[in-house]
Structure 1
């Protein structure tokens, strides 16, 4: 259930919540969407895995985002129910026959693949208007907090072979890659585009769409990265040099860059000791990502008292533990 409050302070004063509360700020999501729609030199897809809440989807739709990167039957169902006019790209490279059939029935026509086996599986269960989106693996070291090079993405020779096989099947392939999540170096996108173009030419096929993936950063307490405008400028220059002359249009699929500033987590301090606090949420709940991101995903925080007043004064550092008995349930950085 969604309740609306003019501020976090008003919520705390009215509810004095005992359990963690997720807070949505739709206006911040809308602002991020406008930045991508206006600044990126192509289409923007939203990576639904980042936040599939209907309020998030509706906010993005209202700002002009019509394409959605889905990676599970749940996400397909949520988008289809919330945004009947949305165009979905099923960008999970390992799908069951049942998942493929469900997606096809829901109107999905773009399916990610990163090998010939997955391509042939999808082709056998769909139709000639299916567009395989062949995912290229990007070498490790792209400047991302989360390296995504080890699980999905075709090696160059497999990428070339998969593109050629798609054409022999009578299909019109597209291509994609992912530089890694929370990428701090915009040059990684140019490197990905350059490698993809080189391999497309080696394959000798015609490509009309290149999805440069996600990886656009959100700006946390510890983030050191250029503004999004610098990413867009570099990609625009690479597009003019590499892809536009070849008739290839661009797309991207941001996740955290669209929604990170649109949400926060309200937690309660259950116990304070001289150098530590015990919270009612931790790494097994709403703060899971802090465990993996460590110092590079250090979240900003504010302290509000039980009456909704913002605390001020001298600052001290506290180790923050979650509510479970597991000693690993601790934030990797002090509050």
Structure 2
């Protein structure tokens, strides 16, 4: 509402600068009014808008710009139709490393062209592509033979592709789990050989510790006690040593019989303290003795079986989901 009035010092300085002095009040008032008018002109002149310069920063606009559609991608049809087309193009590119193809048109005619151009001219609401084979082009090169098919066939092929991917994924996981389980159980029975000539110290420190370690790992164990001629043989199945042709019983004096019996008693005492699910033995101290010891199943084995069962369940659920989705897509088509 009120106009800004210059300070009196500015007005007074202007008076002396013009070498004018007014004695009367009216004359001074007139002169002050003229100074105010001149001040207004100067102020308004300085407030004129400045012309834009090329160095002025460009104004920034908030918000993302709308993304332009890619002119190299077919924009017709639904997203599923475009995904089905992309699978065919990727398959051709990965196998042939080329864009050339021979296309079977809906009319039945063959056209040697670039597959990317053909894909852009398709109306995906009505048609799709399918690789049906391989053919030599005019230059003698092997190129894919691609057929223009109806939309329903293209969607069915895409559903089959997804089903194969899921099956391959779960089969790979299942095979990996099976291989891991097989590696763990590659040698389900370990043969530990003990000579009748072993010293009590070696039996207690070496052989007993070896047996204990195997059983604690969940490893099933054969313990074969015999003469050096028996334990040095290559043995596939220790139980085969106890048929009639392998029996070689010898007469023992009291000292040797007592020593061998002590070895057997030491093993029996040790096995009572170890984690076993079953213990069986056969033979006699006058020939050879075999222990068949089955270890308690480890907790890891149970967890592994549970994981394999869960993988199978997931695979079944995924197959059902894909089958349902495939039927839904075919019904819409």
Normalising by structure 2, report the TM-score: 0.19
Normalising by structure 1, report the TM-score: 0.19
Greater relative contact order, per chain length (Cα 8 Å cut-off, separation 6+) = 1
Structure showing greater Rg:
2
